[in-house]
Amino acid sequence: MSVWEIILGVAVILVSLFIIVVILLQQGHRAGITGAISGGADTFLSKNKARTFDATLARFTKYIAILFFVLALVANFIALRK
């Protein structure tokens, strides 16, 4: 194995773990429904804050997924060159 293969392998593993963490941090879409049924009242500010955090996580998820696919393609290209 060359140095580049090892570096790309470690990068793919780290990016995949990071994308798993970011996805797990996101709030489910059904969380608001159960809160409304059980009578949980959220203020406007807390709802707006949650949306902003979820929107940021969703944006990070897109960028990390693109990075993951690019790294996977580069690793595949390097592996096929041998």
| Model pTM score | 0.69
> Which residue stretches of the chain have pLDDT < 50?
none
Residues with Cβ < 8 Å from 22, sequence gap 6 or more? 57, 60, 61, 64
Show the 3-state SS of 12-80.
HHHHHHHHHHHHHHCCCCCHHHHHHHHCCCCCHHHHHHHHHHHHHHHHHHHHHHHHHHHHHHHHHHHHH
For 7-23, write each residue's pLDDT tens digit: 999 999 999 999 999 99
Element (H, E) at 5: helix 3-25
pLDDT computed for residue 55 by the predictor: 84
pLDDT computed for residue 24 by the predictor: 92
The domain spans of the chain are 3-81
